[in-house]
């Protein structure tokens, strides 16, 4: 009987390992749609590698670089190779082998690699993972090389912030692409309710007033709810709440990163405003049980007038159904994007995304850095942003006038964007926040006590206590 | 025979073993690969887990893995006595839910499985098709069960549609995936997926009971209920005992359905949806408290062993009779 039992122990351990921590990646840019397609892909075609190697012998020694990436685009490995094509043509001695990890198992694989020293040459990391992997000694310092990619001034400060460990000078990563949050609104719904979008998204007051007007209007035979909010059963619970805390003047941690401050007065105001929208009937409460991709799909069907999500949805609306997109949906041709409204402390949004790093155990560090340099060039940044639907990391491109009009609103939003503190303990911190913010949604849904400032304050205090015990250990 | 060999073993010890080995050399050779494989995938990880539970293993020491600082029983101490240990957070809810979940699921799956098996045991037209059709839920992978029921339980989903719009059983549509109802949202799909397997096992067992026993009982004037209580149940007891254990272990270690129903491991299933395994996974991997997590897993294993011991005492006679 012991046998049977420990078999189950083992089984659950394996299950546990495989389902680890994907939520703390910071980058939730891959809505579940793209995730499914990505996890099926493996590595680049062997024939392409062979031909690359064959023609190389003349110049420099042939080298095979391996890159681990996440499913950032519909065909993650092929898309990256397509972007790399000009480089690989110029460097026939270089063969790039791309391995796609899905976000769910990436953390386990990367920490295993960091622990054993056996891993790729080039490694993509979610922005919040960089300090953790850096403190584990899994990635190389690149401090003296950053001028190759333009240095700090060429990137958004919120994303440059994710390339180091808070309080230290060294740089470990280069921002690759940026994830941000902005408002998608149904233009027909706003027309039907006679609300001017130019005014609606200015301040919290005008936003709430606009939602009140839009709530319940009929568009295409559908009665729309003003706002779609995924509740607690989602990856983005934490990313959805912090923009409001920041806009209210609150912050995540104190300036010395030694204690939690999100439960202080201003932070609570932000949470009360955001959850208040749901409590005032501006949110279809059934959406509180859904996850981000269901909310996006509901918005596509015209069930809600406003949702807050990342740049990938615009790309998704432009992609035909048979390629995994939603271009057939009603809202695909009647939406527009706007930055989040300004709270008492001004505008804000969540900034995440992914960084590129050189793996510590790599035997071809110079070549790996050369590839990262290429991926940071304007040409490659532009190409990859187009393919993936993410925002480029280079400031010059974000601010470029020929940016896609949908992306311009995101570019505007990133100006006020903030990223989480770049501390090694962010993963556990986010797990704790996720849990307590989930309880807040229970309170909002009316199934866990009375919704008022006291009950929210209490839950936020519990969250702060747990976060403090994590960051002070 | 049994006692004879035992006596032999006692008296001759190693010599007996040697002789046995010589005569069954080929059989032992066949067992060796399995044995090695079991050692590799089964005892080694377990030993590693126990070692991990004595280490200060968190994200900063993970790189050193088994060479992380040895702290003896500190993980256990902190787990049992330190309220701020990450693995303890929310564990009370998880334990309560797991107890309710295990008892309700185990009982209903066994009862329902047996009831349907008895129905299926009598001949009727289309019995083969009916049996196969009933196996369908069991064929659905638990991952898919979690995702599917996750959709069905939504407030604007099909379950509320049936309950409220069609059957008018409730006045307004309740939440199933948040709040108190969550416990039902995880219990019902587990039963839905679990009972067909029990039905098949019980059906197989029922078919081994010779018909003439029932005939004899009928001649003696025993009615259906007495036949069930005095023939069917006692003869099913060994099968029942084994299935009870399987179900118990299965349900205490339940993970997939809850995990996939609530955001694929990302979401917090809530105070009425969290189970031991989902809580343990989240609190140890999510918080990078690998040492404490291993300690908690080991403690859970010890507790489970106690239950298995109790189970064995309860059913010892039935199991040895076979």
Q: Which CATH architecture has domain B91-269?
A: Orthogonal Bundle (1.10)
- A223 to chain B, any CB pair closer than 8 A? The answer is no
CA dist list (Å): A293 to A300, A303, A310, A393, B273: 10, 14, 11, 24, 22
> Across the interface, do A111 and B46 touch by the CB < 8 Å criterion?
no
Give contacts of B282 with chain A, Cβ < 8 Å.
Answer: 431, 435
> Across the interface, do A9 and B49 touch by the CB < 8 Å criterion?
yes
| Domain residue ranges in chain B | 91-269
Give contacts of B286 with chain A, Cβ < 8 Å.
Answer: 20-21, 23-24, 427-428, 431
Helix (H) or strand (E) holding A459: helix A453-471
Nearest to B287 among A4, A11, A428 (CB): A428
Q: What is the pLDDT of residue B9?
A: 52
> Across the interface, do A427 and B59 touch by the CB < 8 Å criterion?
yes
DSSP secondary structure letters along B39-100 = IIIIIHHHHHHHHHTTB--STTTGGGGGGSPB-TTHHHHHHHH-TT-GGGTTHHHHHHHHHH
Q: Please check the confidence at residue A40 and state whether its pLDDT lies above 50.
A: no
Q: Please check the confidence at residue A56 and state whether its pLDDT lies above 70.
A: no
Residues of A80-116 as b/e, b for ≥16 C-beta within 10 angstroms?
bbebbeebbeebbbbbbbbbbbbbbbbbbbbbebbbe
State pLDDT tens for residues A191-248.
999 999 999 999 999 999 999 999 999 998 889 999 999 888 888 889 999 999 999 9
> Across the interface, do A432 and B63 touch by the CB < 8 Å criterion?
no
Place of tokens 């026993």: B213
Q: What is the pLDDT of residue A16?
A: 41
Place of tokens 């269901």: A294
Q: For residue A184, count other CB atoms closer than 10 A to its CB.
A: 25
Q: What is the pLDDT of residue A267?
A: 94
Nearest to B263 among A137, A234, A288 (CB): A234
- A136 to chain B, any CB pair closer than 8 A? The answer is yes
Q: What is the band of A143 on the pLDDT scale with cuts at 50, 70, 90? A: very high
Q: Please check the confidence at residue A26 and state whether its pLDDT lies above 50.
A: no
Distance, CA of A201 to CA of A340 (rounded, Å): 7
- A179 to chain B, any CB pair closer than 8 A? The answer is no
Question: Taking the mean position of all CA atoms in its chain, how far away is CA A411?
Answer: 15
- Terminal Cα-to-Cα distance of chain A (whole angstroms): 40
Q: What is the pLDDT of residue B88?
A: 87
Vertex A420 angle, CA B58 and A126, to 5°: 65
Task: Calculate the average pLDDT of chain A.
Answer: 86
> Across the interface, do B267 and A237 touch by the CB < 8 Å criterion?
yes
| Domain residue ranges in chain A | 7-180+352-418, 182-349+423-471
> Across the interface, do A19 and B281 touch by the CB < 8 Å criterion?
yes
Report A:59-118 residues touching B (Cβ under 8 A).
104, 111, 114-115
The share of chain A scoring above pLDDT 70, in percent, equals 88
Least confident of A273-277, A299-303, B17-21: B17-21
- A285 to chain B, any CB pair closer than 8 A? The answer is yes
Q: For residue A226, count other CB atoms closer than 10 A to its CB.
A: 26
CA dist list (Å): B195 to B111, B138, B198, B257: 9, 8, 5, 15
Do A302 and A219 form a contact (C-beta atoms < 8 A)?
yes
Count of residues making up chain B: 322
Q: What is the pLDDT of residue B3?
A: 52
Check whether domain A182-349+423-471 has CATH 3.40.50.2300, yes or no: no
Q: What is the pLDDT of residue A10?
A: 45
Vertex B71 angle, CA B65 and B75, to 5°: 90
Q: What is the pLDDT of residue A37?
A: 34
Sign of CA dihedral A436, A441, A446, A451: positive
State pLDDT tens for residues A356-413.
999 999 999 999 999 999 999 999 999 999 888 899 999 999 988 888 888 888 999 9
Phi, psi of A41 (to 5 degrees): -75, 150
Residue of B nearest to A5 (CA): B249
Q: What is the pLDDT of residue B5?
A: 54
Nearest to A233 among B267, B284, B288 (CB): B267
What kind of fold does domain A7-180+352-418 have according to CATH?
D-Maltodextrin-Binding Protein; domain 2 (3.40.190)
Radius of gyration in angstroms for the set of CA atoms belonging to chain A, rounded to a whole number: 23
Strand A94-100 versus strand A63-69 pairing type: parallel
Each of the 322 residues of chain B gets a pLDDT tens digit; together they read 455 555 555 555 677 777 777 888 888 889 999 999 999 998 999 999 999 999 988 877 877 778 888 998 999 999 999 888 888 888 999 999 999 999 999 999 999 999 999 999 888 898 889 888 999 999 999 999 999 999 999 988 999 999 999 999 888 889 898 888 999 999 999 999 999 999 999 999 999 999 899 999 999 888 888 999 999 999 999 999 999 999 999 999 999 999 888 876 667 888 899 999 999 988 888 888 889 999 999 999 999 999 999 999 999 887 776 5
Task: Return the structure tokens found at A277.
Answer: 């929208």
Alpha helix positions (H), A237-377: 237-247, 265-279, 292-300, 312-318, 365-375
DSSP letter (8 states) at residue A358:
E
Vertex A51 angle, CA A46 and A54, to 5°: 125
Q: Please check the confidence at residue A18 and state whether its pLDDT lies above 80.
A: no
Q: Please check the confidence at residue A354 and state whether its pLDDT lies above 70.
A: yes
Distance, CA of A211 to CA of A200 (rounded, Å): 8
Give contacts of A17 with chain B, Cβ < 8 Å.
Answer: 285
Nearest to B264 among A104, A137, A428 (CB): A104
């Amino acid at each position: 009987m012991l046998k049977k039992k420990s078999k189950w122990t083992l089984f659950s351990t394996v299950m546990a390992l495989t389902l680890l921590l994907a939520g703390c990646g910071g980058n939730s840019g891959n809505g579940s749609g793209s995730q499914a397609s990505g996890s099926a892909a493996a590595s680049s075609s062997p024939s392409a590698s062979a031909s690359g190697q064959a023609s190389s012998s003349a110049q420099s020694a042939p080298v095979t670089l391996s890159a681990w990436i996440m499913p950032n685009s519909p065909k993650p490995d092929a898309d990256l190779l397509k972007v790399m094509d000009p480089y690989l043509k110029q460097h026939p001695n270089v063969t790039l082998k791309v391995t796609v990890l899905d976000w769910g198992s990436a953390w386990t694989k990367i920490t295993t690699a960091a622990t054993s020293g056996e891993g790729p040459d080039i490694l993509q990391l979610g922005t919040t993972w960089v300090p953790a992997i850096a403190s584990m000694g899994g990635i190389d310092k690149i401090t003296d090389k950053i001028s190759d990619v333009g240095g700090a001034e060429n990137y958004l400060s919120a994303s440059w912030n994710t390339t180091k460990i808070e309080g230290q000078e060294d740089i470990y990563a280069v921002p690759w692409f940026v994830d941000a949050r902005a408002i998608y609104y149904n233009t027909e719904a706003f027309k039907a309710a006679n609300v001017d979008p130019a005014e609606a998204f200015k301040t919290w007051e005008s936003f709430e007033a606009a939602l009140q007007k839009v709530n319940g209007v009929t568009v295409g035979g559908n009665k729309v709810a003003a706002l779609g909010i995924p509740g607690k059963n989602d990856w983005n619970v934490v990313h959805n709440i912090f923009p409001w805390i920041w806009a209210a003047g609150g912050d995540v941690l104190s300036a010395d990163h030694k204690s939690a401050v999100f439960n202080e007065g201003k932070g609570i105001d932000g949470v009360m405003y955001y959850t208040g929208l749901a409590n005032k009937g501006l949110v279809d409460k059934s959406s509180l049980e859904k996850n981000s991709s269901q909310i996006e799909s509901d918005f596509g069907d015209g069930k809600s007038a406003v949702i807050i999500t990342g740049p990938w949805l615009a790309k998704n609306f432009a992609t035909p159904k048979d390629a995994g997109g939603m271009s057939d949906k009603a809202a695909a041709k009647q939406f527009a994007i706007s930055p989040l409204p300004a709270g008492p402390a001004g505008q804000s949004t969540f900034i995440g995304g992914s960084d590129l790093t050189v793996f510590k155990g790599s035997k071809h560090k110079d070549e790996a850095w050369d590839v990262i340099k290429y991926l940071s060039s304007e040409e490659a940044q532009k190409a990859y942003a187009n393919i993936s639907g993410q925002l480029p990391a280079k400031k010059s491109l974000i601010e470029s006038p020929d940016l896609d009009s949908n992306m311009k609103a995101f570019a505007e939003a990133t100006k006020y964007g903030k990223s989480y503190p770049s501390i090694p303990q962010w993963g556990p911190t986010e797990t704790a926040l996720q849990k307590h913010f989930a309880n807040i949604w229970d309170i909002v849904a009316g199934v866990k006590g009375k919704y008022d400032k006291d009950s929210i304050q209490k839950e936020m205090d519990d969250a702060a206590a747990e976060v403090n015990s994590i960051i002070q250990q | 025979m049994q006692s004879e060999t035992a006596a032999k073993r006692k008296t001759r010890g190693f010599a007996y073993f040697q002789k046995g080995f010589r005569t069954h050399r080929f059989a032992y050779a066949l067992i060796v690969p399995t044995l090695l494989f079991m050692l590799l995938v089964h005892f080694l990880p377990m030993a590693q887990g126990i070692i991990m539970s004595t280490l200060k293993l968190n994200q900063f020491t993970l790189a050193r893995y088994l060479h992380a600082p040895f702290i003896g029983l500190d993980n256990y101490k902190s787990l049992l006595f330190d309220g701020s240990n990450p693995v303890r957070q929310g564990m009370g809810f998880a334990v309560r839910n797991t107890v309710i979940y295990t008892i309700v699921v185990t009982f209903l799956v066994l009862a329902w499985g047996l009831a349907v098996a008895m129905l299926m045991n009598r001949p009727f037209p289309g019995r083969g098709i009916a049996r196969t059709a009933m196996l369908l839920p069991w064929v659905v992978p638990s991952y898919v069960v979690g995702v599917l029921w996750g959709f069905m339980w939504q407030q604007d989903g099909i379950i509320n549609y049936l309950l409220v719009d069609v059957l008018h059983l409730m006045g307004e549509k309740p939440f199933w995936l948040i709040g108190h109802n969550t416990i039902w949202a995880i219990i019902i799909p587990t039963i839905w997926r679990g009972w067909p397997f029990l039905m098949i096992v019980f059906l197989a067992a029922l078919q081994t009971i010779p018909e003439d026993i029932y005939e004899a009982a009928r001649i003696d004037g025993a009615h259906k209920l007495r036949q069930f209580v005095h023939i069917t149940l006692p003869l099913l007891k060994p099968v029942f005992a084994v299935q009870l254990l399987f179900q118990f272990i299965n349900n205490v270690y339940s993970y997939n359905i809850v995990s996939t129903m609530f955001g694929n491991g990302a979401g917090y299933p809530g105070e009425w949806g969290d189970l031991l395994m989902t809580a343990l996974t989240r609190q140890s991997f999510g918080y990078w408290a690998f040492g404490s997590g291993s300690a908690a897993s080991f403690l859970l294993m010890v507790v489970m062993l106690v239950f298995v011991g109790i189970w064995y005492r309860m059913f010892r006679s039935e199991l040895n009779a076979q």
